A and B are shown apart, each in its own frame.
Chain A
């Protein structure tokens, strides 16, 4: 049971702004993901909530109680670190038990709690091992078990999957999703991987250079990016962006002509997603350009062309075959296009 409120929270080191004026209420049991490139302030925000970093300004409230001056141990949060931070001298059992021990929780309940937590992350067979004798994925699960063992109010996870290989990342991601559903605890999850954000989050906060760019559900952020930065950060591949001139509802750039758009005349940035577009036909051939590269993905073929220095990718059927350098026409109807201000990058609503 915990609602977290951040009221105009900021963090400065001298003149450097780490986090600027962060204002957000995280609902009880919500799974919130802080997403952004490295150095965007997402980890700092989490560390301020944990109490490992002092907020330079603003208030942090957990359950309506101001916690700015509380030690980490008094905030009733649990954290999973990127490096896992397991205690190397203790075995798995002792690692998981440690939070119970230092908090003086009735020793007779320890064994049951440790075994329940370890069962949840399928570590039963490894309880006697030292962290050094575990694989990366197992260490990660020990860190998770240590976080859940004392049933805290808030979970904080700092890029917990980034040290795992790609395959393990997918399965552990599923495990975290299932775990958070089962435990129903307010969770804040920091990542730079947009797929993790999309798959796990109830709401996503996209950050850049300490400033919140957009806050919304994964669908919001995917379908209606608030600016060109969010558009270029979310999606795999990221949204295609190209700059051109808008005149009378028609967007024009080299080899590109898209009609039927609604935006004031002048320079704009136009974006669309590779999977929304397709190969052109007699009716739709907004882009006609030589093929820059072709990538076979198995379920589709990615056709990339160059528009004014930018690479623009379009998803074509999997049996599409052509040669690099051949001219291809692509269909980009106005309905799938997103328009952004060429200078500020802000979204232009149709």
Chain B
């Protein structure tokens, strides 16, 4: 039971809960609204005449005899073959995460264990590249990619995304590695490991939460990227985000905007699941080093 000293006055308690409630509604409303609207027709959800149509679904009822319809999903997934974009996104994400984590863990480990001065400057250089907007890099890439005939395909995009992503993963993993005492490596080496075995058997298992957290951030960057994927992918190779943008760009045909809404919901759902599954690792990864182990 809470002691008297810990108990808050009633007014303050109402204020706190009220604030949390308002914040929750503000934060969650757009998602619920989009989710709700994705089962309507365009004339309801984007109704100019009466916004309450989005709630009641007048036009949806008129068209499909029900206040809810999966027409937008069907249009997006079947007619527009959105599943191809989904597959493309996952191919891009998979390779971006794998490549940047491999380079990031090896590089971060090497930099954290190196006693040379230049490691500091390497990291600063990485930070500068991280600070640049990705689009500034893409402009420079475009011409050579056309010339070499590698524009529009997934591998090119993956390489560019890895390049943009790498400074961040390097920094993040480097700081995780620095929190692991050097004695652990040394102890492993005296116990009979080579440098790489020490890394593989001793350091990586300790680092695991950090690798997962970094991998997740890296995944999100690739998943959410618009600038690079929109500029570098041809229409047939689009990932989800530029595909959604393309649906929005064709407002002349009725229904296409609803494809975008349905696609947005489809694209958001996996993120929720992902964060739910990995929440424990993310939190422990983000707070690793805050507490002495």
B-binding residues in A (CB < 8 A): 50-52, 71-73, 77-79, 81-83, 85, 87-89, 98-99, 102-103, 132, 146, 156
Which residues of chain A have C-beta atoms less than 8 A from B205's C-beta?
87, 89
Interface-central residue, B188, B192, B208, B293, by most chain A CB under 10 Å: B192
From residue B92, how far is it (CB to closest CB) to chain A in Å?
32
Of B187, B193, B194, B293, the residue contacting A81 (CB under 8 A) is B187
With A72-B190, A89-B206 known, 9 other A-B pairs at CB within 8 A are A50-B186, A71-B194, A72-B186, A73-B191, A77-B190, A81-B183, A85-B186, A87-B187, A99-B192
Cβ–Cβ contact A88 & B206, under 8 A: yes
Could you show 24 A-B contacts with beta carbons less than 8 Å apart?
A52-B186, A52-B189, A52-B190, A71-B194, A72-B190, A73-B189, A73-B190, A73-B192, A73-B194, A78-B190, A79-B190, A82-B183, A83-B181, A87-B187, A89-B206, A99-B192, A102-B191, A102-B192, A102-B193, A102-B201, A103-B191, A132-B293, A146-B191, A156-B190
B16 on interface, CB distance cutoff 8 Å: no
Interface residues on B, range: 10 to 19
State the CA gap A132–B293 with chains docked (Å): 7
Which residues of chain A have C-beta atoms less than 8 A from B183's C-beta?
81-83, 85
> If the complex has contacts A81-B183, A102-B197, A132-B293, are A87 and B202 also in contact, measured as CB distance less than 8 A?
yes
State the CA gap A77–B187 with chains docked (Å): 11
Which residues of chain B have C-beta atoms less than 8 A from A88's C-beta?
206, 293
Which residues of chain B have C-beta atoms less than 8 A from A82's C-beta?
183
B137 on interface, CB distance cutoff 8 Å: no
State the CA gap A99–B293 with chains docked (Å): 22
A-B interface, 4 closest residue pairs, ranked by CB to CB distance from nearest: A85-B187, A85-B183, A99-B191, A103-B192
B184 on interface, CB distance cutoff 8 Å: yes
CB-based nearest B residue for A90: B205
State the CA gap A254–B81 with chains docked (Å): 102
State the CA gap A88–B208 with chains docked (Å): 12
CB-based nearest A residue for B181: A83
Interface-central residue, A73, A77, A79, by most chain B CB under 10 Å: A73
State the CA gap A113–B189 with chains docked (Å): 20
Cβ–Cβ contact B206 & A87, under 8 A: yes
Which residues of chain B have C-beta atoms less than 8 A from A87's C-beta?
184, 187-188, 202, 205-206
From residue B58, how far is it (CB to closest CB) to chain A in Å?
60
CB-based nearest A residue for B184: A85
State the CA gap A77–B192 with chains docked (Å): 9
Which residues of chain A have C-beta atoms less than 8 A from B184's C-beta?
85, 87
From residue B186, how far is it (CB to closest CB) to chain A in Å?
5
From residue A60, how far is it (CB to closest CB) to chain B in Å?
15
- Interface 0/1 of B265-293, CB less than 8 Å to A: 00000000000000000000000000001
Count of CB-CB pairs between chains A and B under 8 Å: 62
Q: Is the interface of B mostly helix, strand, loop or mixed?
A: helix
Which residues of chain B have C-beta atoms less than 8 A from A52's C-beta?
186, 189-190
Which residues of chain A have C-beta atoms less than 8 A from B191's C-beta?
73, 78, 98-99, 102-103, 146
Which residues of chain A have C-beta atoms less than 8 A from B186's C-beta?
50, 52, 72, 79, 81, 85
From residue B285, how far is it (CB to closest CB) to chain A in Å?
15
From residue B260, how far is it (CB to closest CB) to chain A in Å?
46
Which residues of chain B have C-beta atoms less than 8 A from A72's C-beta?
186, 189-190
State the CA gap A85–B197 with chains docked (Å): 16
From residue A135, how far is it (CB to closest CB) to chain B in Å?
15
Which residues of chain B have C-beta atoms less than 8 A from A98's C-beta?
188, 191, 201
CB-based nearest B residue for A47: B186
Which residues of chain A have C-beta atoms less than 8 A from B188's C-beta?
87, 98, 102
From residue A46, how far is it (CB to closest CB) to chain B in Å?
11
Which residues of chain B have C-beta atoms less than 8 A from A85's C-beta?
181, 183-184, 186-187
From residue B41, how far is it (CB to closest CB) to chain A in Å?
55
Which residues of chain A have C-beta atoms less than 8 A from B293's C-beta?
88, 132
State the CA gap A81–B186 with chains docked (Å): 9
Which residues of chain B have C-beta atoms less than 8 A from A89's C-beta?
205-206, 208
Which residues of chain A have C-beta atoms less than 8 A from B193's C-beta?
73, 102
Which residues of chain B have C-beta atoms less than 8 A from A50's C-beta?
186, 190
State the CA gap A62–B278 with chains docked (Å): 50
**Interface positions of B from 151 to 180, Cβ below 8 Å from A:** none
From residue B184, how far is it (CB to closest CB) to chain A in Å?
5
CB-based nearest B residue for A53: B186
CB-based nearest A residue for B115: A13
Which residues of chain A have C-beta atoms less than 8 A from B194's C-beta?
71, 73
State the CA gap A77–B190 with chains docked (Å): 7
CB-based nearest B residue for A158: B183
From residue A12, how far is it (CB to closest CB) to chain B in Å?
14
Which residues of chain B have C-beta atoms less than 8 A from A71's C-beta?
189, 194
CB-based nearest A residue for B204: A89
CB-based nearest B residue for A102: B192
Which residues of chain B have C-beta atoms less than 8 A from A99's C-beta?
191-192
Which residues of chain B have C-beta atoms less than 8 A from A156's C-beta?
190
Interface-central residue, B181, B183, B194, by most chain A CB under 10 Å: B183
- Interface 0/1 of B206-239, CB less than 8 Å to A: 1010000000000000000000000000000000
From residue A99, how far is it (CB to closest CB) to chain B in Å?
4
From residue B176, how far is it (CB to closest CB) to chain A in Å?
14
State the CA gap A82–B206 with chains docked (Å): 20
Which residues of chain A have C-beta atoms less than 8 A from B208's C-beta?
89
Which residues of chain A have C-beta atoms less than 8 A from B189's C-beta?
51-52, 71-73
State the CA gap A89–B211 with chains docked (Å): 15
Which residues of chain B have C-beta atoms less than 8 A from A81's C-beta?
183, 186-187
State the CA gap A156–B186 with chains docked (Å): 13
CB-based nearest A residue for B207: A89
State the CA gap A183–B81 with chains docked (Å): 73
